[in-house]
Amino acid sequence: MGPRSPAVLLLLLLGPIALAQEPAPVELGPPVRDAVTCFEFRVARLAKLEPLAGAWMRYAFSVPLPGGGAARIEAGLAGPRTTLAGLTTEWRKELGSAGWTDEGETAAGADRVLRFRHPKEGALRTVRLIRRHGRTWVLGTRFPAAEESAFAPIAEAVAASFKVTGVPADGVVPVLDGGGRRRLEELRLEIPVPGGVKEVPPAGTWVVLEYRCLVPNGGGCVIAVAASEPEETWEQFLGTALEAYKGMGYPLVEDRREPDARTGAAATLRFRKGEDSRAALFFKTPHAGVGLLFSYLTEEEAPWLEFIEEFARSSKIEGPAKKRSPRLVDVPLGDPVRDEELGIEIRIPKAAKKKDPQGWLKLVWLLELPDGNTGSLHVGRADEGEDLASFVTTVKMGEGGDGFEVVSERRDDWATGASLVLESRREKDRMGSLDFFYETAGRHVMVGFGFTLERTSQWRKITREVLASFRVTAVSDDRLAPPAGAEPSEEGDLVFHAPSKAIPPKALKALKDEVAAALALARDLTGGPAPERKIAVHVFPDSSRVRKVARTTEADAPAAVYVPEGRVVLVNAAPTAGGGRPLGSRCEAVLLAYLDAWLGTPRGLPPWVEAALREAARAAKVAGGKAVPDLKSSPLAPWIRGNARKDPWPPVESVLEAPRAKFGPSRQDFAAYALGIALGLRAASDEKLRTAIPRLLAELRRTRDPQAAQGAALEGIAAKALDAAARAALGKG
């Protein structure tokens, strides 16, 4: 009987270890009894049940150790025709090929204990072979070598508790029809459940159902159902299987990619490692690949192959009725990480572990998901004076040296605010990479993610949530400093920093009232609550600061501008006529500040939503002491009046899919139509239409997924209804 997979095997320390003090008694839990293979033993009370590895195993536990590490304890029954000498040779051969050094064997009564060490991993391992009634039971441990003294008493207590309780029966395979049938509605699959099986947590991300079969004569069997991920093709699904078994150390002995008349499988893979064999049958359905997976003892292969054929023939596999949604888990983020040298702020998943960076990478984290899938997050920075194009080339060359090929490159990604996004992949081990480049006032910054392609949807979710928290904080001048002589004052959800001596009291009060009205309009347009943090407003007596930030001339300086790096609204108390309507400019700046405070990011809005909200804010007028959007007050009103009769409006479908550039100054038709959407939806009698944008924003805040938020908000709303609302509003111009 040989070791199965890279799964850890039981280490039993033989003989007492000399201690300076009398060790505290080991507290063991209740007995674990296996009536089928006739043994029982006890493990530490804090032990946790773990997935099994290898067909011979019955139980596996992890035990936390004082130094922070963990030991693994495993127990099972070897095959009926194995000998003690044969098992000893097999264990040494298998572990030796995996890098373990043989440290000899000792006798413990009628038992034989083998001891191994792994120099690179710093681990110790023992295997206790317990011979009774012509059969061999296996008990073993694996633990950190540095914690040997702490684990020794536990190992001794567990070994002392092990008892053989009878003679196992002679059954080789489980009874196929002994447990009824099990149906998985998601896959529209039905399989027979053999008698005496136990359902266990699936091992790995691709397994959806797993049973441990209690075969009387030992050796056991695993029966599992696997399914392809939504992103995987048929060939990639088979590749996932090959990589999974390869990772467990199983050599491939058969790869048949043609239909099997005996089982109905479209492809069959078989693997063998010593006395442990695996078989995987794959079925192709319209919307997913489905696999039936089996593990068994090599010496009993003939009856097992007959069992597998009968099992497959008794199964019904239709596959899902439609393409499945990805299996996603929530990954909580930690507190913001602010790096002054890089000039950024970002939130990283709580479970991520920081690692030492290398080269142009400045921050690196590794993240293991609850399902065992791992990936990385990293932040890099360009060299001093390096432009964006050169920095992107540097990243491409680095990833190319690691075997990655660029599959897409897109600019101005509105969902993340990145100047450029690179997507790369490495097919040989199914790895993917997403790199987001941001231009800052100093050096350019890249935020990157590495992950397995089969979990692309999960990592895109993590990417959206992490980048929603990302902001550039670096500024190259004092543009965020409050005005000289400013006196801070809190008024509701606003904090004003204004030089009261430089601005007449009456004018300052009117300006504050106007900004407060702008905030009320922002909440009205978005349907959002009061901001979770107060919005800072710096009021300047002239246009110099605002002009500097907005990079405009004196004549065109706006009345206000929002600076996301500092989360501050800069207001020009004495705007010029060339900068547009002061109220509209201030309403737009406060709207952006409110969206940042409410959504947690100034980015991620679908372009048509951002354009609709901004144009509505620009069209604000005072009515009844409130700021309200009005078509005639919009800077676009003259263009609309001059062109409305020509029916210049783009198709609503193209507006909903248009990039941000389409709503710029050169395309007044798109900008005007976005304004029409904002005004038309506000005036709609149908509640679903009227609340479309507020519902979209609320969903975006919850999911960080712009496309999903748009889909949820517009579900049930016909494009014709949206178009009619926009045209009705524009027709009143």
- Complete DSSP assignment for 165-214: -S------S--TTSS-EEEETTTTEEEE--TTEEE-PPPSSSEEEEEEE-
Sheet with 344-349, side-by-side order of all strands:
333-339, 344-349, 471-472
Q: Which pairing describes strands 418-426 and 405-413: parallel, antiparallel, or unpaired?
A: antiparallel
- What is the structure's pLDDT at 348? 93
- Tell which residue, 145, 211, 473, has the closest CA to residue 338: 473
CB 238 within 8 A of CB 255: no
Whole-number Å distance between alpha carbons of 567 and 286 = 50
Give the 3-state secondary structure of residue 411: strand
d(CA 195, CA 192): 10
What one-character DSSP code corresponds to residue 44? B
Per-residue model confidence (pLDDT) at position 732:
53
CB–CB of 309/336 below 8 Å? no
Rounded to whole angstroms, the Cα distance separating 343 from 331 reads 25
H/E stretch holding 295: strand 288-297
Give the Cα separation of 580 and 578 in Å (integer): 6
Q: How far apart are CA 67 and CA 636, in angstroms?
A: 69
With tokens 């009370």, the residue in question is: 45
> What's the pLDDT at 407?
84
194 phi and psi angles, rounded to 5 deg: -60, 155
Contacts (Cβ under 8 Å, ≥6 apart) of 566: 473, 475, 480, 536
What whole-number distance in Å separates Cα of residue 25 and Cα of residue 4? 33
Contacts of 407 (CB under 8 A, 6+ apart): 423, 424, 425
Query: Pairing state of beta strands 344-349 and 333-339?
Result: antiparallel
Q: What pLDDT shows up at residue 76? A: 86
pLDDT per position as a tens digit, 27-66: 888 898 887 788 999 998 788 888 766 656 778 899 999 8
Q: Which helix (H) or strand (E) holds 344?
A: strand 344-349
Residue in the block written with tokens 């139980």: 59
Phi/psi zone of residue 172: left (φ > 0), alpha (ψ -120 to 50 degrees), beta? alpha
Torsion of CA 637, 639, 640, 645, to 10 degrees: 150
| DSSP per-residue string spanning 233-285 | -HHHHHHHHHHHHHHTT--EEEEE-S--TTT--SEEEEEEETTEEEEEEEEEE
Write down the pLDDT at residue 113. 94
Q: Give the list of residues 6+ apart from residue 585 with CB closer than 8 angstroms, or none.
A: 558, 559, 560, 561, 575, 579, 618
Q: Left, alpha or beta for 218 (phi > 0: left; psi -120 to 50: alpha)? A: left
> Which positions of the chain have pLDDT values less than 50?
1-23, 733
Q: What is the pLDDT of residue 1?
A: 39
**DSSP letters along 79-130, please?**
-TT--HHHHHHHHHHHHHHTTPEEEEEEEETTEEEEEEEETTTTEEEEEEEE
Q: How many alpha carbons fall within 13 Å on the CB side of residue 464? A: 21
Cα-Cα-Cα-Cα dihedral sign, residues 130, 73, 198, 244: negative
pTM: predicted TM-score of the whole model, two decimal places: 0.57
* Residue 440: partners with Cβ closer than 8 Å, 6 or more residues away: 343, 344, 472, 474
8 Å CB contact between 175 and 196: yes
Matching residue, tokens 């699936």: 202
DSSP string across 608-636: HHHHHHHHHHHTEEEETTEEEE-GGGSTT
pLDDT in the model for residue 24: 55
